[in-house]
Chain A
Amino acid sequence: MEPNKLLAQLTAEDRALIRIVQHGLPLVSRPYADIAERLSTTEQDVIRRLQKLINNGAIKRYGVVVRHRELGYRANGMVVWNIPDDSVSRLGSCIGKLSCVTLSYRRPRRLPDWPYNLFTMVHGRNRAEVRQKVGEIIESCGLQNIDHTILFSTRRFKQRGASYTPPENTNRPAGTIRLETAAGTDS
């Protein structure tokens, strides 16, 4: 589905549900019953709506979300590649399948400042491990002739899940949903 088409299809009930579950399920025996109570609906309705969001691709993954840094993966390298346009899909898919990678996105170039069009994220216990994994990526996908650079994170100023600003506290458009999407998976 085209981006934003789904956005338009979401009902007010879907949005209210998303606002709650984006922070994670409650840690109680029947989490969906708990959510249902807050939304004045039924447990079954909550489960059905979530299943729909999984089926239509709005939810990419459903389960335990870990924090890399707290697990000892302290080095996080954003690896950016300058790939000819006609091979970016193929190579991006190749990289996106590797287990050491947690993101593989095509983004626009901004010439002359920014020539890179593929972004991948690689985590390691230290920089050497990240560099070694990048070497493995180059080997696996045949990227020996592709220009790349690794941007290591040096400080984390903000990392948090989604939040929701009550519209009355802001002059921004109402109904703002902020989500921690896969684009912002804890990295």
Chain B
Amino acid sequence: MTDITSSFSALEKRLLNDFQHDLPLSATPYADIALQLGVSENEVLNTVRKLQDAGVISRIGPVFTPNRIGVSTLAAMSIPAQELECTARIISAFPEVNHNYERDHEFNLWFVVTASSEEHLEIVLHEIEQHAGYPLMSLPMLEDYFIDLGFKLQWA
């Protein structure tokens, strides 16, 4: 397998790794990053754009704490293999579903459902069950033990 990380420039690596948390809330964040990296603001903006186009940067900005400004749950379903793709498509079509993965387990479809309130979440979960035609196991987060400092990249 080609290791994409080995093709990154020094500037790209630092942009990917060094600014995943505590980005200062100044009026000119990209100029601040540029100053730290000893390059121009335009170089920072262009490089971020390039990394975004390549899909390696999703975005720059906030990651919200689960269940603070909306409610969400992790849902799982057990679906016969031949029905999986079709059912997954039905579920992905719900705007409340933002992640939907097949996993190698008896519960083979796992997705995150996010809503604005408990009531809204219940309605959506019910609708998903109705449309998918399979029972859903809802596993809301009860406690969060994760200290999110971003994803430490190990350069090859």
Contact A53 B62 (CB under 8 A): yes
Given contacts A1-B68, A61-B62, A123-B151, are A67 and B57 in contact (CB under 8 A)?
A: yes
Per the bound structure, the CA–CA distance linking A36 and B102 in Å amounts to 40
Q: Is the CB of A72 within 8 A of B117?
A: no
Query: Cβ of B29 < 8 Å from any Cβ of A?
Result: yes
B27 touches A47 (CB 8 A): yes
Check: A162 CB closer than 8 A to any chain B CB. yes
Q: Do A184 and B60 touch across chains, with their CB atoms under 8 A apart?
A: no
Closest chain A CB from B75 CB (angstroms): 11
Q: Is the CB of B116 within 8 A of A181?
A: no
Interface core residue of A6, A88, A157 (most chain B CB under 10 Å) = A157
The tally of residues in A whose CB lies under 8 Å from a CB in B reads: 97
In Å, the complex CA distance between A74 and B111 comes to 18
Chain B residues with CB under 8 Å of A157's CB are 88-89, 91-92, 100-102, 111
Partner of B107, one of A114, A161, A176: A114
Among candidates B57, B97, B114, B143, residue contacting A65 with C-beta atoms closer than 8 Å: B57
Q: Mostly helix, strand, loop or mixed at chain B's interface?
A: mixed
Considering the complex, give the chain B residue whose CB is closest to the CB of A101.
B146
Chain A residues with a Cβ under 8 A of chain B: 1, 3-4, 6-7, 10, 18, 21-25, 27-33, 43, 47, 50-51, 53-54, 57-68, 70-72, 74, 76, 78, 88-89, 92-93, 95-97, 99, 101-108, 110, 113-114, 119, 123, 125-126, 149, 151-163, 165, 170, 172-173, 175-187
* Residues of B in contact with A (beta carbons under 8 Å apart): 1, 3-5, 15-16, 19-23, 25-31, 41, 45, 48-49, 52, 54-72, 74, 76, 88-89, 91-92, 95-105, 107, 110-112, 114-120, 123-124, 137, 139-153
